[in-house]
Structure 1
Amino acid sequence: MNQHFSASVQQVADVRTPVDVVRLTDVRRRFGTTAALDGVSLSVRKGEILGIIGRSGAGKSTLIRCLNGLERPDSGEIFIEGRDIAQLGERELQPLRRRIGMIFQHFNLLSAKTVEDNVALPLKIEGRPKAERLSRAAELLDLVGLSEKAKAYPASLSGGQKQRVGIARALAARPALLLSDEATSALDPETTRSILALLKDINRRLGLTILLITHEMEVIRSIADRVAVIDAGRIVEAGPVWSVFADPKSPITQSLLGGIRPQLPGEIAARLSQSGGREAILRVDVAGEAASRPLLSDLAAAVPGSFRLVHGGIDHVQQQPVASLFLGIPTSADHERRVLDFLRGRGARVEVLGYDAGND
């Protein structure tokens, strides 16, 4: 990183902003009879990465358009760096929009302009001198690893390279907030990982606040500090990523996590009934300090009687251990109660999935 860019990084870090760069209070937006946003309240702290996840039609696009001032809420407050943008006129919004960078799913690069001109475009719109624009573009292309592509045109770039250009352009005006709208949805898994690593690195180097919209839980898991789950225009669950992964309370969150959390193998799930059977099959979710303890050996010592590990394992999310285990225990009301009491007493979330009669 060159000296000039280091100075600009420090300049960004020294900007005096409220603890909450973004704060929404009871934001509502309707289109006809449809409530796109139905009382959304959330905040994003300075230097934080907040992921907002939901299915198609949940309200994600309307939310991000309200944040950048392209949509006006019907009611509620939207504060960006302490200013309620819902109360600002179009002329007052212009300088505030320059404090918000945007990266898009389909890149939105201008095909007739070179890579460096695409990156410098926000500064040209601001009326900055050409020398300053090109100097800043060079710094940012170095940051995203594309210095050698400065004179190239978008048509010659791969999808990942185009998104790196989009990220550089979003940073041109030194924003306080970066909005990412499904920025990796059009990319293959390997390229997605590289783009997410770049965003995390930028967040770390610049202390940049990032709000990312996605329908992919793996994106949230990779880089977000906190997650908010939106469904039918409402925030139905929010918290640190590791905590939500360990104990998803909303059905929509459980569904979104279904693809990356361990699930009971289908052939066993198909045999389960709600009564009878040789074994009760338990799902045991535990995280944090409780997941670091020898849970199963302690269970064997505390509750006499056999049990078996049917499926599952332990993972790490945000450096926190998160375990999902499936246990089979002999069918006995007293034994089942004692096992449940022990596991819950150790901070585990336990669910009786059903009873397995085996292959008889």
Structure 2
Amino acid sequence: MNQHFASVTEIMHPIGSRSAGPDDVVRLIELKRRFGATAALDGVSLSVRQGEILGIIGRSGAGKSTLIRCLNGLERPDSGQVFIEGRDISRLGERELQPLRRRIGMIFQHFNLLSAKTVEVNVALPLKIEGRPRAERLARAAELLELVGLSEKAKAYPASLSGGQKQRVGIARALAARPALLLSDEATSALDPETTRSILALLRDINRQLGLTILLITHEMEVIRSIADRVAVIDAGRIVEQGPVWSVFADPKSAITQSLLGGIRPQLPAEIASRLTQNAGVEAILRIDVAGEAARSPLLSDLASAVPGWFRLVHGGIDHVQQQPVGTLFVAVAGSNEDHLAEVIAFLKARNARVEVLGHVANSV
């Protein structure tokens, strides 16, 4: 199995539950932005700690692009506050924003490299804009190209690079001015899966080596799963759910989160799902979500010992997210005896499993 997720509701972080602290690099307070009748942002509040990777995920049109533009000062909110390293940038003039923007690095989906300039010149561009001496610029570019594994490409031009190499150059450029915050705007969306994994691994390594705070904007749950510490789900301009990645993935509360997770959480095989009915049948099909200690325990063996009768596993498995075991199991239970079914469900819930009766089937599956 590849990605299977589960639920432990008592460790979830409710929306807005984490109070701001002195280590917050980013703090947004009731951010609102409208375009005509459309509320692109409708009261967004969240914080990002120093050294943390926060993933913000949502569908197209959810408000992600507007949010990131407010973070780097390219968009002015109608109301609310945007604090970067403790300073509210939401009402600063362009001249005051200039030095603060140097504290924010940006990597883009389509790389945005200067095709007529060499790789090292592209990397050094932010330092040239700052007015740094040429020798200093090139020394910093060499240091960063080594960090991203492209030292041998310093004199090359972007046209000779692969997509993954171009993104590595983009990452090096974003780090040139030693930012406190790195914004990643769909940085892997244009890359193939293997290259995406290598870029995400690089970002995680940079986060660990430099203690760099990273905010990821994405529509891909696998990106969040791979490297984020926390996730915030945005829908129609609102943060509808947030918390540690493994707990949100394990027990998604909102319909949008459940939908976004549909591609990577295990689903009942279509052949079985097509046979489900709400009428009593030979077997009841249960979905059992487990996490933490419940996922570590021999749950099904204990069930067999504690509850007379029969049942069997038809699909599912256990995986790990952020070093936490999580799993989803689909189990067929004798469905003709309601008392037996109730006893099975009660036992599982007592073990901190979330249980859902999906329906019944007339014959064994």
Please give the TM-score of this superposition, normalised by the length of structure 2: 0.93
Alignment partners' CA distance in 1, 2:273 and 2:43: 38
Alpha-carbon offset, residue 359 of structure 1: 6.9
Alignment partners' CA distance in 2, 1:19 and 1:300: 49
What are the within-5 Å matches in structure 2 for residues 170-209 of structure 1?
A: 170-209=174-213
The answer for the alignment partner of 1:231 in structure 2 is 235
The answer for the alignment partner of 2:293 in structure 1 is 289
Match of 1:246 among 250, 259, 266: 250
Alignment partners' CA distance in 1, 2:29 and 2:362: 52
CA contact (8 A) 2:76 2:91 kept: no
Is residue 322 of structure 1 aligned with residue 326 of structure 2?
yes
Q: Which amino acid aligns with 2:104?
A: I
The answer for the alignment partner of 2:217 in structure 1 is 213
Alpha-carbon offset, residue 81 of structure 1: 0.4
Q: Tell me the secondary structure at the aligned position of residue 202 of structure 1.
A: helix
Q: Deviations over 1:227-274 (max 9, x none)?
A: 111111111111111111111111111111111111100010000011
The answer for the alignment partner of 1:302 in structure 2 is 306
Alpha-carbon offset, residue 147 of structure 1: 0.4
The answer for the alignment partner of 1:351 in structure 2 is 356
What are the within-5 Å matches in structure 2 for residues 107-146 of structure 1?
A: 107-146=111-150
Match of 1:79 among 76, 79, 83: 83
Q: Tell me the secondary structure at the aligned position of residue 40 of structure 1.
A: strand
Is residue 341 of structure 1 aligned with residue 335 of structure 2?
no
CA contact (8 A) 1:119 1:137 kept: yes
Is residue 47 of structure 1 aligned with residue 56 of structure 2?
no
Alignment partners' CA distance in 1, 2:162 and 2:193: 14
Alignment partners' CA distance in 2, 1:20 and 1:128: 29
Alignment partners' CA distance in 1, 2:151 and 2:364: 62
What are the within-5 Å matches in structure 2 for residues 53-72 of structure 1?
A: 53-72=57-76
CA contact (8 A) 2:283 2:364 kept: no
Alignment partners' CA distance in 2, 1:341 and 1:72: 53
Alignment partners' CA distance in 2, 1:18 and 1:110: 38
CA contact (8 A) 2:282 2:364 kept: no
Q: Tell me the secondary structure at the aligned position of residue 271 of structure 2.
A: helix
Alpha-carbon offset, residue 345 of structure 1: 1.2
Q: Tell me the secondary structure at the aligned position of residue 230 of structure 1.
A: strand
Alignment partners' CA distance in 2, 1:20 and 1:358: 57
Is residue 26 of structure 1 aligned with residue 30 of structure 2?
yes
Alpha-carbon offset, residue 172 of structure 1: 0.1
Alpha-carbon offset, residue 358 of structure 1: 2.3
Match of 2:276 among 272, 278, 284: 272
Q: Deviations over 1:177-236 (max 9, x none)?
A: 000000000000000000000000000000000000011111001000011111111111
C-alpha RMSD of matched pairs (Å) = 1.1
The answer for the alignment partner of 1:261 in structure 2 is 265
Give the percent of matched residue pairs that are identical in Structure 1 and Structure 2. Answer: 85
Match of 1:152 among 156, 169, 183: 156
Alpha-carbon offset, residue 338 of structure 1: 1.2
Match of 2:317 among 313, 317, 322: 313
Please give the TM-score of this superposition, normalised by the length of structure 1: 0.94
Q: Tell me the secondary structure at the aligned position of residue 276 of structure 1.
A: coil
Q: Tell me the secondary structure at the aligned position of residue 341 of structure 1.
A: helix
CA contact (8 A) 1:280 1:330 kept: yes
Alignment partners' CA distance in 1, 2:22 and 2:123: 28
Q: Which amino acid aligns with 1:339?
A: V
Q: Which amino acid aligns with 1:51?
A: G
CA contact (8 A) 1:271 1:358 kept: no
Give the ranges of 4+ consecutive aligned residues of structure 1 lying more than 6 Å apart after TM superposition: none
Alpha-carbon offset, residue 87 of structure 1: 2.3
Alpha-carbon offset, residue 28 of structure 1: 0.6
Q: Which amino acid aligns with 1:338?
A: E
Q: Deviations over 1:5-61 (max 9, x none)?
A: xxxxxxxxxxxx931111111111100000001111111111000001111111110
Unaligned runs of 5+ in 2: 1-20
CA contact (8 A) 1:18 1:46 kept: no
Alignment partners' CA distance in 2, 1:83 and 1:245: 33
